[in-house]
Structure formats: structure tokens, C-alpha cells
Amino acid sequence: MIWLYVIGGLIVLCLLLFVLKINISIQYRHEMDDDLFELTVYIWAMKVYKMSAPLIKFNKETLSLEVEEKQKTALKKSKKKGIITPQDLIDALRTIRDFIQHVIGLHTIVQRFLKKVRIKQLNWHSSVGIEDAAHTAQLAGVVWSLKSVIIGLISHYTRLQDVPKVSVEPRYQMLYSYSKFSCMISFRLGQAIFAGLMVIKHWRKKPTVHQAPSVEENI
């Protein structure tokens, strides 16, 4: 009899996990040399994780990014500094390429998952300016076009819950760059678990012959 209660409890727990709603808040702010990226994860309305990168500095000598990162969970806080070099980017591209090669039909799996992802409160406001007024107007037009393409892709692959608030303000006779982006992403934990199981199911061994050229060679 006890085993029936245990099995029943496990079934209820699994069902709760599958319907558990995950909300991810993304905020990015850039103004000249000042950058701030924040990512906060909520389970329903409870904050369970927060990551903040208040400093993103580009080193011209080494062509690397210097990032100061802060993480906060319900149990602990941590702070660390890191450097992202061109080699790190190449290694990341190689890892992504290998992952895509390993999973059969990855595009379909990701596309099906994204169709269940909801995005709301998408706000993206920018200001750009250079000393020449004509070039400033052209630059603002380019930024508008780029935003339209990105939001079009987001609306095509995910579910936009409301109309995005987007603006581009030209700043004439001055060198200026500002951008503020924020949105809320939500999905069910069960949907993410199912997508992960599909990735595992369609995983294949890395080919040992006729390997594709490396990212470095392609570059």
C-alpha cells in the first residue's frame, strides 16, 4: 500500500515539474563605454537566479573582452572576472558546430521548442549619433532596419504576446551611442525537458572519417 502512495506522489511530482512555468527576464543597457547585462530567472513569481555583468570592456591591444560578472542564487553569491579572447570565440564556434553535427534534425527540435516559448514586454530603445548630420540619419535608418529584421525573426520563431516597443532616436552633431533592451521569456519546464530528451534521442556519434574543416580553416 505504501508503494502505491510513493508511486502516486512521484507521478504528481513529475506532473508538477512538467507544468512548472519558467520566466526569464533579460535586460541590457549600453551607453558609450558603459554596459550592463542582467539575466534573472523566476519559477512562477519566485526569483531563483540572477546574473549581472556590469562591466564589458574591450581591450584593443589583445582584442579581447574583459567582463566582470556577478551571480546570485537562493543559496550563495559569487563574483568573478573573466577575459574573452578571439580564441575563446573560435573554440565556442567549433563546439556549436560539433553539437549541430552530432544531433540529427536539431533545427526542427529547436524550432518546435521555440514555437512554445512566449515573449512579452519587449522594449528596445536606441539613440545613435555621429558628428555629420547626414551620416547620422543614414545610421539611424540602418539601425531601424536591423531591429526590424531581428524582431521579425523573433516573431516568426517564437510567440510574441504583445506589440514590441521599439524606437531609434538620431543625435545630431555629436558622437553618441545608447541602447536599452528588455524582455520577458516564459516556457514550461516540461517543454524544455522534452526538447532535451529529443536531443539525446537524436544524438549520433562523431564521425571519424571525412571530418569537416575546422572553424579556423573556414575563417
pLDDT average, residue stretch 131-160: 91
Asked if residues 174 and 131 have their Cβ atoms less than 8 Å apart, the reply is yes
pLDDT for residue 206 is more than 60: no
Provide mean pLDDT across the span 185-211: 75
- For range 185-210, the mean pLDDT: 76
Give the confidence band of 212 by pLDDT, cuts at 50, 70, 90. very low
Grouping H, G, I as helix, E, B as strand and the rest as coil, residue 84 is: strand
The domain spans of the chain are 21-84, 104-203
For residue 69, the tally of other CB atoms under 10 A from its CB is: 16
Phi first, then psi, for residue 155 (nearest 5°) are: -70, -25
| Rounded distance between C-alpha atoms, residue 142 and residue 158, angstroms | 24
Q: What is the structure's pLDDT at 80? A: 76
Q: What is the mean pLDDT of residues 78-107?
A: 79
Is beta strand 118-129 parallel, antiparallel or unpaired with respect to 165-170? parallel
Q: What is the pLDDT of residue 24?
A: 94
**Would you state the pLDDT for residue 119?**
95
Question: Whole-prediction pTM value?
Answer: 0.77
What are the backbone angles phi and psi of residue 6, rounded to the nearest 5°? Answer: -65, -45
Mean pLDDT, residues 115-142 taken together: 91
- Copy the grid coordinates of residue 210: 571525412
pLDDT of 189 reads: 87
What is the mean pLDDT of the segment spanning 87-96?
Answer: 83
Residue 63: its pLDDT value, please?
Answer: 65
